Amino acid sequence: MTKLTLGSHPFLLGFDQLERLVERTAKSGNDGYPPFNIEQTSDNSYRITLAVAGFADDDLSITVEDKQLVVRGRQSEDSEGRIFLHRGIAARQFQKSFVLAEGVEVGGAKTENGLLHIDLTRSVPDSIVQTIKINKG
């Protein structure tokens, strides 16, 4: 029995890039830190919210690389000269990746009360009906 993939199915032409995106997302291995929400704010807009308490705006970076939204956080180590009796808040770095669909753009980002909000918008393509002329012989 042969295994059919998206790129090799006879009725799905040109979906090989989608298959690569799914594989890349599966391999990214994002752990649960930091916790995040994804919400739909309207028919064509979304918001990703990450819990980034303890991170300053300068500690965070947001980039879009090859249709992949990448959020990185790196806290500076400021424990020099401090003696901790208990250390439960770790200065921990992270990288969180989200694959964006074609036509989805990052609208902006802001921090508020220890949360990083990233707003996304999806452009709606115009519906075009195309008639193909059949050439004779």
Query: Which pLDDT score is estimated for 76?
Result: 75
The domain segmentation of the chain, as residue ranges, is 31-77+89-122
User: Measured between alpha carbons, how far is 111 from 56 in angstroms, rounded to an integer?
Assistant: 9
CATH assignment of 31-77+89-122?
A: 2.60.40.790
How distant is the alpha carbon of residue 26 from its chain centre? Answer: 13
Query: Which pLDDT score is estimated for 66?
Result: 86
Tell me the one-letter amino acid at 101. A
User: Measured between alpha carbons, how far is 135 from 137 in angstroms, rounded to an integer?
Assistant: 6
Query: Could you state, in chain order, the average pLDDT of each consecutive group of 10 residues for the chain (137 residues)?
Result: 62 71 63 91 96 92 93 82 83 89 94 97 87 89
Give me 71's structure tokens: 């959020």
Helix, strand, or coil here: 24? helix
Query: Which pLDDT score is estimated for 126?
Result: 80
Tell me the one-letter amino acid at 118. I
Query: Which pLDDT score is estimated for 29?
Result: 54
**Model-wide pTM > 0.75:** no
Query: Which pLDDT score is estimated for 87?
Result: 81
